Amino acid sequence: MSFQAKKSNPRVTSDKLIIKGGKIVNDDQSFYADIYVEDGIIKQIGENLIVPTGVKTVDAYGHIVIPGGIDVNTCLQAPHLGMSPADDFYHGTRAALAGGTTMIIDHVVPEPGSSLLSAFDQWKDTADKRSCCDYSLHIDITRWHDGLFEELESLVKDKGVNSFLIFMAYKDKFQSSDTQIYEMFSAMRELGAIAQVHAENGDIIEEEQKKLLDLGITGPEGHVLSHPEEVETEAVYRAITIAKQANCPLYITKVMSKPAADLIAKARKKGMVIYGEPIAASLGTDGSHYWSKNWAEAAAFVMSPPLNPDTSTPDYLNSLLSCGDLQVTASANCTFTTAQKAVGKDDFTFIPEGTNGIEERMSIVWDKAVATGKMDENDFVAVTSTNAAKIFNLYPRKGRIAVGSDADIVIWNTKETRTFSAKTHNLTVEVNIFEGMECRGFPVLVISQGRIVLEDGTLSVMEGSGRFIPRKAYPDYVYKRIKARSRMADARGVPRGNYDGPVHDVISMTKSVPATPTTRGPSCPGKTPLGPTRNLHQSGFTLSGTQMDDHIPRRTAQKIVAPPGGRSNITSLS
């Protein structure tokens, strides 16, 4: 930490801070108290705190004091067609801090077939040098193959990664088959990790893209037309089905449409361990802009799944977020300059995908959900930081204002408004998809790692001050239920005598051995010792004792118990 050296001079350092007169808002309650911060940690909370002299005092009177936001989905490094995003770890985290977000979790996107560990190291190196706030990393599994289980294991056990993203789209590039998804889910469940999915049916998308290009539709509107919401919904449904079979917790990134959100809500009602992540863009704007006559503006909105052309979608997603059916907000910030987007000027399938949102996320949620009365300030904290911290096992270090937690704190102005514009935002990209939007609620002061980084509208960030925050496997919030279900789910065979009746002769199998390992991809190496993992949460059958069909009339006395040491003919047909 760059400030360590100045510790001897308490008057100048920002290591010691007292926040006075604010209302502390956590996800469970709000109360008035002062906060004393030292060495990047919250040391005391209460009234009339006894603190050393010369401590800098921050006046939070009239504002709320909330845990710094956690943005769980950013792509500040992942290249597209060899082009790096316009906003890297420095610009991205700077913008995050300006918006009240004090931690990000970035996606590591390895080239298909390359080592996950080396990609992880590469990302971590860059982020250590450039990041201005604490960060953590998700790993995207772009191709599942033999030997990857060991890499996952080492990432989970030694590197502090507990979440992996799987793609159901991007055919022939990142896309995984159902078999592979099942194997990956099984592997993740065994390791105590969280399975994230990019849910879109890549097969259908490719067909639709071909069809649209055939029709001569090459502009950004082709992007949304080839990614209809049904295709997103279908993939969400499939992911839920597979996750249920594998008894693996599921996290859907980028929930962009109403039916996809509905499916997640329904699955939760059925008892699934599943989380949905709407993003700043899907909560704040819609897909009508794809038809803009300005190519650059239309292209700026291109992302997958696309923003929904239905203009009532943002309101709907905000409602589901408020009632708890969706849990976490992220930004999926992944910006490209207009020149970069223009790679796809003659073919929408080449437009690099991604929008901004890292800076606007918190304000959009406040304006669309809190100011409108859909949720209260505590829910606001839950969806912007606490839930994310719980799901990814950072809680209570992050996501809560409590003694012992990291001093990532935001003083939030709930009354005044701010207008978003590409002219004033802290990213380098030329177009802001929220251009001109006026939002209530913004941070007046941001403390990251115990240091004030935003005050009076002035950012004073330190490049490279961000630390990598490792995350342990088996987050309680997610895995307590999964563990209980694994214990419950015992599928057992029916003890029967051996069938020794006539057996029809068959010619050689035409079925190509359905039960053996699949042709596509090796079977998951971690699966062999896997105990029974069926989720019997809803299943009502019991196998022991008298059977349900005992009373059903059978033709003759057919129940013959196999005597020990011998077997009986159990096929006495009348």
In the complex, minimum distance from the CB of residue 369 to other proteins, in angstroms, rounded to a whole number: 20
| Closer residue to other proteins in complex, CB, 14/417 | 417
In the complex, minimum distance from the CB of residue 31 to other proteins, in angstroms, rounded to a whole number: 39
| Closer residue to other proteins in complex, CB, 133/300 | 300
Of 463, 202, 433, 423, which Cα lies nearest the Cα of 336?
Answer: 433
In the complex, minimum distance from the CB of residue 280 to other proteins, in angstroms, rounded to a whole number: 15
Q: 569 vs 502, 503, 552, 556, 560, CA distance in Å?
A: 11, 13, 21, 14, 8
What is the rounded distance in angstroms from the CA atom of residue 174 to the CA atom of residue 195?
15
| Closer residue to other proteins in complex, CB, 206/376 | 206
**Cβ–Cβ under 8 Å, residues 465 and 132:** yes
In the complex, minimum distance from the CB of residue 511 to other proteins, in angstroms, rounded to a whole number: 5
The residues, ordered by sequence, that sit 6+ positions from 237 with a Cβ below 8 Å of its Cβ are 263
**Cβ–Cβ under 8 Å, residues 421 and 438:** no
Fill in the DSSP letter of residue 64. Answer: E
Q: 508 vs 499, 512, 513, 519, CA distance in Å?
A: 21, 10, 11, 20
| Closer residue to other proteins in complex, CB, 339/403 | 339
Bond into 396 cis (ω within 30): yes
The residues, ordered by sequence, that sit 6+ positions from 366 with a Cβ below 8 Å of its Cβ are 380, 412, 414, 439, 440, 441
**Cβ–Cβ under 8 Å, residues 31 and 38:** no
One-letter identity of residue 215: L
Strand partners, 448: 451
**Cβ–Cβ under 8 Å, residues 448 and 379:** no
Q: What sign has the CA pseudo-torsion 16, 20, 26, 28? A: positive
Count, residues in the chain: 574
| Closer residue to other proteins in complex, CB, 313/413 | 313
| Closer residue to other proteins in complex, CB, 234/277 | 234
What is the rounded distance in angstroms from the CA atom of residue 108 to the CA atom of residue 164?
9
Instruction: Retrieve residue 273's tokens.
Output: 């361990």
| Closer residue to other proteins in complex, CB, 2/114 | 114
Q: Which helix (H) or strand (E) holds 195?
A: strand 194-198
In the complex, minimum distance from the CB of residue 457 to other proteins, in angstroms, rounded to a whole number: 22
| Closer residue to other proteins in complex, CB, 373/495 | 495
What is the Cα 332 distance to its own chain's centre? 9
Of 19, 65, 28, which Cα lies nearest the Cα of 376?
Answer: 28
In the complex, minimum distance from the CB of residue 107 to other proteins, in angstroms, rounded to a whole number: 17
In the complex, minimum distance from the CB of residue 505 to other proteins, in angstroms, rounded to a whole number: 7
**Cβ–Cβ under 8 Å, residues 373 and 319:** no
SS3 389: helix
Instruction: Retrieve residue 382's tokens.
Output: 């839950």
| Closer residue to other proteins in complex, CB, 253/257 | 257
The residues, ordered by sequence, that sit 6+ positions from 512 with a Cβ below 8 Å of its Cβ are none
In the complex, minimum distance from the CB of residue 192 to other proteins, in angstroms, rounded to a whole number: 20
Position of tokens 């949720």?
Answer: 375
| Closer residue to other proteins in complex, CB, 29/516 | 516
In the complex, minimum distance from the CB of residue 557 to other proteins, in angstroms, rounded to a whole number: 10
In the complex, minimum distance from the CB of residue 56 to other proteins, in angstroms, rounded to a whole number: 39
In the complex, minimum distance from the CB of residue 493 to other proteins, in angstroms, rounded to a whole number: 4
| Closer residue to other proteins in complex, CB, 293/415 | 293
| Closer residue to other proteins in complex, CB, 514/565 | 514
What is the rounded distance in angstroms from the CA atom of residue 106 to the CA atom of residue 335?
13
In the complex, minimum distance from the CB of residue 146 to other proteins, in angstroms, rounded to a whole number: 16
One-letter identity of residue 219: G
